Structure 1
Amino acid sequence: MSEELETPQTISEQFESIIHLEDKLLIREFLNNQNISDVAELVDEYDEYASQIIGNMSTHRAASVFKILDVSVQKDIINQLPPLKSAELLNELPADDRTAFLEELPSEVVKELIKTLEPEERKITLALLGYPEGSVGRLMTPDYIAVKDDWTIAEVLEHIRNVGRDSETIDVIYVVNDKGEFVDDMRIREVILASPDHIVSEIIDYRYIALKVTDDQEEANQIFKMNNRVALPVVDDNNILLGIVTIDDILWVATEEFSEDIQKIGGTEALEEPYLEIPLFKLFQKRIIWMVVLFIGEMLTATAMGYFEDEISKAVVLALFIPLIISSGGNSGSQASTLIIQAMAVGEITITDWWRVLRREIMSGLLLGSVLGLIGFTRVMMWAQFFPQIYGPHYISVAFTVGFALVGVVLWGTLSGSMLPIVLKKAGADPAVSSAPFVATLVDVTGLIIYFSVAYIFLRGILL
C-alpha cells in the first residue's frame, strides 16, 4: 500500500505549532532560519506576538526585519521589548533606518531612546537628526567604503575586505582626497577588472553625480530616477563626503510622497500614520479643515445663484441645466489638475513648461467642450420634440445656450485645473493642494457665471 504524502506545513502553521511551547531556543532557531520577508509577514499576521518574534531573533536579523515593518508596528515592538533588547536593536539598525524611525516619535521619547545608543551611534544619529526634516541628510548613512585617490587597486581591495562587511553597499566605492573632499566614485566592477598595481586616480574620470546634504528628498528621487543609480554620495557645501543615500531609502521616499499626494488630491491633509492606526479625533482634524474650506467655496456658488435669481425666475428652464453645467466644468478641472500634478511629481513637466501646457489644455478644453456641447445641444433638441412643454417655443435658443455654455465651462475647467498646480509650484507651495475637490469648487462658482453670461447672450429679449 502506498502511503499518502503529507502536505508540508506553511510557515504560519509551523509558527503556531511552536509559539505555545515557550521553548525559546526552538523559537529562535526557527525564526533565524526563515527569510527576512517571511518573518515580517509573521509579524503582520500575528501582531500579538510581534515583540516576541523580534525579541527571540538574533540581533542582526531582528534589525533586518524591524526596518521593513510599518512605523506603527515598530513603535509597539519598542514599547514591549525589554530595555536591554530594544537598546541592542536600535544600536544594530543602520543609521538611516534608525533616524527614519526616531523622527516619527515624540521628542521626549527620542531623547530617552538616544540615551540607550552607544557613543558612536549616538553621535551619528544626533548628526542625522540635526538636518532639516525632508532633507537628504535625514536619509544618508555613514556606512560606506571610501578610498584615497592615491591608493593602488590592491590597497583598495584589501580595504574592502577589511570594512566591506559593515558597509551599506559595496557596489560603489567612493574616492576622496587627503582633505576628505569627494573626488569620484567607482563601480566595484571597475575595481575588480583593474590591474592591482594601478593607482585609483588613473582609472577614475572625475565625472560624478552627488547630492547636497540639504537637498530636498523629492529632488533626490528625481536625480536617482534620471541617472539610474543604486546609491549616490552626499556632500556638504565644501564638497566633503558625509555619507551616501541608497535606492531603498529613495523608494521609501517615493512611496511616502505618492501617498501624501493622493491624499491631498482627495481633499484632505496627508496622514502620518496608517488609516486604521490614526486616532479618530486626529483623522477628524485632518479632514475637517478642507471640508470647511470647500464648504465655504460652495457657499459662493449659492451666492452666485442668488445673483442670477431674476434670470432664473424669468427662465426657469435654465435651472434644469445648472447641475449638468457645473459638474461638467468640475470634472474637466479635476481631470486636468490630476494629470498635471502627476506629471509634475514624476518630472515630466516643470514650471517652465507652463506655456506648452496652456496651449495643449486650450485645445483639449475646446475639443472636450465641443463634444459635450454637441451632446447637450442634441439632448435639448430631441427632448423638445417629445416634451415641448418643458422648453417651450424657444427651445432652439435654449439648446444653443446649453451647448455653448458647456464649451466655455469645460474650457475654463481644464485651464484652471492645469494652471493652478503650476502657479502653486511657482509660489513655493505643494501642487497637490490644488486638489480635485478644490478645483471642482472653484469651477462651480465661475461655471455659473459663464453659464448665465452665455444665456444672457442667446436669450436676451426672448426669455430674459
Structure 2
Amino acid sequence: MHKETLYLTFLELFQNQFSPEDEKSILALVEKHHAADLASVMDQLEPDQAAHVLRCMQTVKQAEVFGYLSASVQQTLVDQLDIHQITRIISAMDADDRADFYNNLDSEHQQAILPGLAQAEREDIRKLSSYAEGTVGAIMTSDYAALPLNLTAAQCIERLRHEAPDKETIYHAFVIDGERRLLGVVSLKDLILSKPGTPVAALMNTDVISINARDPQSEAARKIAKYDLLALPVINGDDKLAGIVTHDDAMDVAEAEATEDIHRMGGVSHKSPGLSNVNMLEASTWLIVQKRIPWLLVLVFMNIFSGAGIAYFEDTIEAVVALVFFLPLLIDSGGNAGSQSSTLMIRALATGRAHMKDWFRLLGKEVGVALVLGVGMAVAVSAIGIFRAGPEVAAVVAMTMVCTVLFGSLVGMSLPFILSRLKMDPATASAPLITSIADIGGVLIYFSIATWFLRDMIVAAGG
C-alpha cells in the first residue's frame, strides 16, 4: 500500500468512533508496513492520532517506528503517552537511537524516565550521552558483537547465535582482549566457511580501520565510504572498544553534512535550530526567515561598495552611457565563474581530493582555465558590443570580460582554501558571498578599464 493511501486509510478510521475491529485494522496495517513508512505517515497525523496508532503496535514495532520519527514528533508524542509506555519504548530501542531520543528530551522528562530503565540501559544512555554533539561518540551504538581471543570458529558462531537478537549487526565481530582493547575483526562469512576448530586468532584481520570517539562524525562517514565498511569500530582514549558506527548511521551523517553545506553555500544560516530536519512545508515562516536573513543583511552592506564604485566613476558613465548596458552582463559573468570554481573546490576539499598543499598548483591551473573561459566569453559579447555601442566600447567589454572571469574564478577557488587554513568550514564560501565579492571587483575592473581605454571620449564629453 502506498504511503499516501495508508495515510488516507488512517484518517478514515479516525473519522468514526473506534471499535475493537478498528483497532485490529490498525494493527494489521502497521504489521504490513516498514517502520520508516509508518513514521513518515505518523508525521502527518495529529498528535493524538499518531499516539493512538503507536499504542496499537507491539513494543518492538513501537521502538522501530519511534527511531524513525523526527525529534519534534517524538517530543510531541512524549506528551501524549504515559511514562510507563515511554519507558517500554526506550528499553526496546537501539542503543544509539535511545541516546539520541534521551538527549532531545527536557531535563524533567529525562529524570522521570531514567528510574524506569534497567541499570545497564541507564549506564549505556549516560555513556553515549556524554559525548559532544557532532562527535563520533554521539552517533555510535554499543550494540556490537565482540568475541574473546581464545574461541574457535564453532564457539564464535554459537556465541553470535545467542547474541544476534540484541546486536545492531553480526556480519563483522570484533575480537578483544580482557581489557576490551581491539585486537582484530572477523567476518561471519569467514567463521562459517572455516573448519569448526580453527582459532579465531587465525581468522581475524588485525589491520583494523577504526576511529576515535572524539573525532568528528564526518570523518566516520568518510572512512566508511572510503573503505566500504558495514560497521566502523570506535575506540576511546585508552584504545578500548567503545562502540561501532554502522553504515546507515554514516549515511544519515553524510546527508546532514550535505544539507548543512548546501545551506551554507546558499547563504542560509546553519545555526538556527531545526530547519535541516524539518519538511519545508512544516517549517514556520519565522524559522525560515531566521535561517536566511543573517547572510542577506551582510550581503546588503557588502553591495554598498558596488554602489560606491559606480558613484566614483560617475564622470565615465556620463561620458559613455552605453557602458551601463553591459554592466549586469559583466559582473554576473564574474560571479557565475566564481560560484562554479568555489563549488568544485569545496567538493574537492570535502572529499579529500584536494589539500592545502595543492593550492598553488590548482591556482595555476585555474588561471589557465579562467583565461580560456574569459576569452571565449569575450568573443561572444564582442559582437553585441560592436552592434550596441561601437568598436571602442566592444574592446572595453571584451577586456573586462576576461578580467572579471579571471578575478571571479580566482576568488571562488581561493576562498575555500583560505577558510580551511583559518579552521573554518569551506562551505561558508557560499555562492552569494562569492557573487558579492565578484560584483565589487567587477565594477571596479570594468570602469577602471573604461576610464583608461576611453579617456579621449571622456575628455571630449567633458569639454
Shift in Å at residue 141 of structure 1? 0.7
Q: Matched residues in 2 for 1:350 and 1:115: separation?
A: 50
CA shift in 2, pair 1:103/1:333, >3 Å:
farther
Shift in Å at residue 254 of structure 1? 0.9
Amino acid at match of 2:310: M
Matches within 5 A, 1:61-210: 61-106=61-106, 109-114=109-114, 116-210=116-210
Matches within 5 A, 1:252-267: 252-267=252-267
Counterpart residue number, 1:440 = 435
Q: Paired residue for 2:394, among 393, 399, 403?
A: 399
Amino acid at match of 1:415: L
Are 1:416 and 1:439, in contact at CA under 8 Å, matched by a contact in 2?
yes
Counterpart residue number, 1:368 = 373
Counterpart residue number, 1:333 = 338
Shift in Å at residue 324 of structure 1? 1.7
Are 1:32 and 1:58, in contact at CA under 8 Å, matched by a contact in 2?
no
Shift in Å at residue 260 of structure 1? 1.1
Amino acid at match of 1:379: I
Are 2:150 and 2:200, in contact at CA under 8 Å, matched by a contact in 1?
yes
Are 2:230 and 2:247, in contact at CA under 8 Å, matched by a contact in 1?
yes
Are 2:177 and 2:183, in contact at CA under 8 Å, matched by a contact in 1?
yes
Question: For structure 1, which segment, 435-444 or 32-41, has the greater mean C-alpha deviation from structure 2 after superposition?
Answer: 32-41
Counterpart residue number, 2:425 = 430
SS at match of 2:457: coil
Are 2:337 and 2:409, in contact at CA under 8 Å, matched by a contact in 1?
yes
Q: Matched residues in 2 for 1:128 and 1:213: separation?
A: 10
Q: In the alignment, does 2:242 pair up with 1:242?
A: yes
Are 1:268 and 1:290, in contact at CA under 8 Å, matched by a contact in 2?
yes
Question: For structure 1, which segment, 14-23 or 234-243, has the greater mean C-alpha deviation from structure 2 after superposition?
Answer: 14-23
Shift in Å at residue 381 of structure 1? 1.1
Q: Matched residues in 1 for 2:29 and 2:10: separation?
A: 9
Are 1:31 and 1:39, in contact at CA under 8 Å, matched by a contact in 2?
no
Shift in Å at residue 71 of structure 1? 2.5
Q: Matched residues in 1 for 2:446 and 2:440: separation?
A: 10
Matches within 5 A, 1:235-384: 235-270=235-270, 272-273=274-275, 274=278, 275-383=280-388
CA shift in 2, pair 1:396/1:111, >3 Å:
farther
Counterpart residue number, 2:33 = 35
Are 2:349 and 2:355, in contact at CA under 8 Å, matched by a contact in 1?
yes
Are 2:172 and 2:185, in contact at CA under 8 Å, matched by a contact in 1?
yes
Q: Matched residues in 2 for 1:106 and 1:260: separation?
A: 25
Pairs aligned (count) = 446
Shift in Å at residue 198 of structure 1? 1.5
CA shift in 2, pair 1:343/1:102, >3 Å:
farther
Deviations 1:278-322 (A, max 9, x none): 443333222221111010111111122222223223333322322
Q: Paired residue for 2:414, among 419, 423, 427?
A: 419
Q: Matched residues in 2 for 1:307 and 1:115: separation?
A: 71
Shift in Å at residue 45 of structure 1? 4.7
Are 1:18 and 1:26, in contact at CA under 8 Å, matched by a contact in 2?
no
What percentage of residue pairs aligned between the two structures are identical?
A: 33
RMSD, aligned α-carbons: 2.3
Shift in Å at residue 374 of structure 1? 1.2
SS at match of 1:413: helix
Shift in Å at residue 425 of structure 1? 1.6
Are 2:211 and 2:233, in contact at CA under 8 Å, matched by a contact in 1?
yes
Deviations 1:234-256 (A, max 9, x none): 00122100111101111111111
Shift in Å at residue 25 of structure 1? 5.1
SS at match of 1:207: coil
Q: In the alignment, does 2:27 pair up with 1:22?
A: no
Are 2:176 and 2:184, in contact at CA under 8 Å, matched by a contact in 1?
yes
Q: TM-score, normalised by structure 2?
A: 0.90
Shift in Å at residue 88 of structure 1? 1.2
Amino acid at match of 1:22: S
Amino acid at match of 1:338: T
Are 1:114 and 1:122, in contact at CA under 8 Å, matched by a contact in 2?
yes
- Consecutive unaligned residues of structure 2, counting only runs of 5 or more, are none
Shift in Å at residue 41 of structure 1? 4.3
CA shift in 2, pair 1:80/1:329, >3 Å:
same
Q: Matched residues in 1 for 2:8 and 2:293: separation?
A: 45
Shift in Å at residue 348 of structure 1? 3.4
Q: Paired residue for 1:458, among 428, 448, 453?
A: 453
Are 1:222 and 1:347, in contact at CA under 8 Å, matched by a contact in 2?
no
Shift in Å at residue 184 of structure 1? 0.8
Q: Matched residues in 2 for 1:111 and 1:318: separation?
A: 69
Are 2:175 and 2:186, in contact at CA under 8 Å, matched by a contact in 1?
yes
Q: Matched residues in 2 for 1:429 and 1:18: separation?
A: 52
SS at match of 2:173: strand
Amino acid at match of 1:34: K
CA shift in 2, pair 1:127/1:324, >3 Å:
same
Deviations 1:3-27 (A, max 9, x none): xxxxxx9655654565543327514
CA shift in 2, pair 1:41/1:129, >3 Å:
closer
SS at match of 1:443: helix
Q: Matched residues in 2 for 1:251 and 1:374: separation?
A: 46
Are 2:185 and 2:205, in contact at CA under 8 Å, matched by a contact in 1?
no
Question: For structure 1, which segment, 14-23 or 178-187, has the greater mean C-alpha deviation from structure 2 after superposition?
Answer: 14-23
Amino acid at match of 2:31: N
Question: For structure 1, which segment, 454-463 or 235-244, has the greater mean C-alpha deviation from structure 2 after superposition?
Answer: 454-463
Q: TM-score, normalised by structure 1?
A: 0.90
SS at match of 1:146: strand
SS at match of 2:209: coil
SS at match of 1:242: strand
Are 2:67 and 2:93, in contact at CA under 8 Å, matched by a contact in 1?
yes
